[in-house]
Every structure is written in structure tokens, then in C-alpha cells.
Structure 1
């Protein structure tokens, strides 16, 4: 019997850095543990100096099985 593949999810996480900066990280993973690991790896690749992450939080998790799954990420406001 073929092993059933675990469903993938779209995760939205927020990282609070020690200097107070807030970063939103969106990843695809099959488990919460893998989502956190992938988010940390993406933070390392995104920055020149490894960031000092004070807190990494899972904000939303959505199954990828549906069409149109996504997130709106609020960013800076223009004056």
C-alpha cells in the first residue's frame, strides 16, 4: 500500500526582532514544526547579518487544497 502524503499548508508567521522590527514570513510546509524551521531559514537568507529574533509566532495556517488561498500582508503606509 502506498503511504498517504501529508497535506501541505500555507503559513503566515510574524517575527519580532530585538530592535523592534516586525517581519511577516509566508511559507509552505506540511507541519507546524517544519513551517517554523523554514521561516527561520528564510529570515537568515533575507538578511545580511543574522537577525536576533525575539519572538516567532504562527498567525495563520490555511490548507493548500483550495484554489485562491492567500494572505494580505499589511505594510508601510504612504503619506
Structure 2
């Protein structure tokens, strides 16, 4: 299955850039899009094959480094 998978995340505004840099470091595993910079809402779009790997990265980030809560996840609806 080659569908894209999306995580909607709530974080702090000041953590968005750090989260983006970490996701970018895992080349090809995901792409970060800022949905609402004032509220700290971002989207991480990954492939379906990498969804579990990306979820683990995000959970680890939230436990150790930044405020991060996955508030929704599922098949990407195609909205950028």
C-alpha cells in the first residue's frame, strides 16, 4: 500500500521548527506542514509504510524534548 499517512499534532509555536528539523533528518520518512502557527498545530505526512516509525519518533520527541500531542492520525486526505 503506497498511500500517505498523516499525523495532526498540537505543540508549542516555539517547538515547530525543532520538530520540523528532526523529521527532516529522517530523510524521506515524513514532511511537516504548519496548519496553524499561532496554536502550534502541525501536520506530519508520511508514507503508510513509515507510519509506525514516524509515530515512534513523534512519541519519543514528546516524551523527551518538546510538548507534542498527536491529536489525530489516519490516511492523508490530500490537503496541504
Rg comparison, structure with higher value: 1
Which TM class, normalised by the smaller chain length? 0.3 to 0.5
What TM-score do the two structures reach when normalised by structure 2? 0.38
What TM-score do the two structures reach when normalised by structure 1? 0.38
Q: More relative contact order in 1 or in 2 (CA 8 Å, sep 6+)? A: 2
More helix by share: 2
